Amino acid sequence: MKHKKLVIGLFGFGVVGEGLYKVLLQTPSLNATIRKVCIKDAAKKRNAPASLFTDDKNEVLQDEEINLIVELIDDSEAAFQIVKSALESHRPVVSANKKMIADHLPELLELQQATGTSFLYEAACCASIPVIRNLEEYYDNDLLHSINAVINGSTNFILTKMFDENLPFKEALLLAQQLGFAESDPRLDIEGWDALNKWSFLLTHAYGILVKKNELVFNGIQLITHHDAQVAVHLGYSIKLIAGAKKLSNGKVAAYILPRFVKNDDLFNSIKNEYNGVVVESSFADKQFFYGKGAGSFPTASAVLSDISALRYNYKYEYKKLYHHQVGELTQDFYVKVYVSFADWKYIPKDDFESIEEWHSNDQRSDLTGIIHFEKLANSDWWKTNEVSLILYPDDIIESMDVVKVKKRSLELAGFAG
Ligand code: HSE
């Protein structure tokens, strides 16, 4: 069977857009060509024939020959208007704009339903790793116990350079920017916003939860200090920015994006530089690990290419877990074991902790290890301000304090604890 010819209208010619242009030139078998590229500054010299470019979006959106829109621009609101207009004219869209998807998912769902038109965005999370399609097609909601992931390449790159090569934070960031991994405003990476955007819609595909971004507890790596890195190394850990989600025994889902200690022999510690990784745990398959480049021109373009290819078969996300299963629900009713480091005890609400197991102090910095109810973190920001740094321990989620108390009591009975 001959596939239909795809005539692409492309928005954006940055790191990913230009990557896609080159990748398509090397994939003639796809039978897809770029007819027009809309960019902000049509006069700027580019590595493609000048006749391809326009700065008038209507030249692309109203071109009857174009049967597929690929949206790869930075501005999320302008991107949404482009996607909306394309879907309303029944033209499928491929996008990599995580912020736009996170900010507009309910409207995008409605548009897909009303128009019956495909909207694919595999490149928007974990770039080259096919995580959305796997969550959609392979994992049944009931079987998915947990999904934990490194989903921001820039922060992972910076942490790797800091831990493995002793590079200062600023130098590592500059390198991530030069290599085209970082967002135009790198605070979006460093402070966790980019990971928040990605995780919010990944939770829809994983658990059928429509997440409001302000419901998710998140942070980035901006507060991690040299002291924390030294403590981590001393304990046999490294630090990763982890997006975590776990289905608790009551069926509700615990989720967050926070720095976490990972053991040196943990799968997460093998994720270096701009790579991303996703660890899925399910009832029968047990643990599975997806690994691949999470940022950069060609890895991201490869996911866009795969979506373009899937459109030859009119592939659509069915959002099965949202529409056909019992819709998932987030909870903050669980406990986490945390490491907190700080310059002054006055910033630490000691009474918020269920228990503080240990603490250390030196002239510059103190740190403690304790257990805290997650809702207490969700409803406060002391752990994101005043140079306080909070890192989760590896076995992070504790469903009930009873378990901790029973463990402690049995240690006491056995004579191990005072
Ligand atoms: N700035 C993003 C990252 C690019 O570093 O992961 C890929 O989404």
| Res. 395 pLDDT band, cuts 50 70 90 | confident
Catalytic annotation on 405? no
pLDDT tens digits, 350-380: 999 999 999 999 888 999 999 999 999 999 9
Pocket of ligand 1 (CB under 6 A): 127, 152-154, 181-183, 189, 194, 294-295
Spacing, Cα 14 to ligand 1 middle (Å): 13
CATH architecture of 335-404: 2-Layer Sandwich (3.30)
CATH architecture of 6-120: 3-Layer(aba) Sandwich (3.40)
> CA of 407: how far to CAs of 354, 400, 404, 415, in Å?
15, 12, 5, 12
**Atom nearest to 189 CA in ligand 1:** 1
| CA-closest candidate to residue 390, choices 298, 257, 206 | 257
Domain(s) of CATH 3.30.360.10: residues in the chain: 131-293+318-323
Q: Give the whole-number percent of the chain exceeding pLDDT 90.
A: 87
Domain(s) of CATH 3.40.50.720: residues in the chain: 6-120
pLDDT value for 317: 97
| CA-closest candidate to residue 221, choices 153, 287, 286, 283 | 153
pLDDT value for 76: 97
Which residues sit opposite 283 in a β-bridge?
none
**Atom nearest to 124 CA in ligand 1:** 8
Contacts of 138 (CB under 8 A, 6+ apart): none
Domain(s) of CATH 3.30.70: residues in the chain: 335-404
pLDDT value for 409: 57
Q: Give the whole-number percent of the chain exceeding pLDDT 70.
A: 95
Helix (H, G, I), strand (E, B) or coil at 242: strand
| Closest CA to ligand 1's atom 4 | 295
pLDDT tens digits, 176-186: 999 999 999 99
Spacing, Cα 37 to ligand 1 middle (Å): 23
CA 75 to chain centre: 18
pLDDT value for 130: 97
pLDDT over 50 (residue 102): yes
Mean of per-residue pLDDT scores for the chain: 93
CATH T-level assignment (fold) for domain 131-293+318-323 = Dihydrodipicolinate Reductase; domain 2 (3.30.360)
Spacing, Cα 295 to ligand 1 middle (Å): 5
* CB neighbours of residue 162 within 10 Å: 20
| Res. 405 pLDDT band, cuts 50 70 90 | low
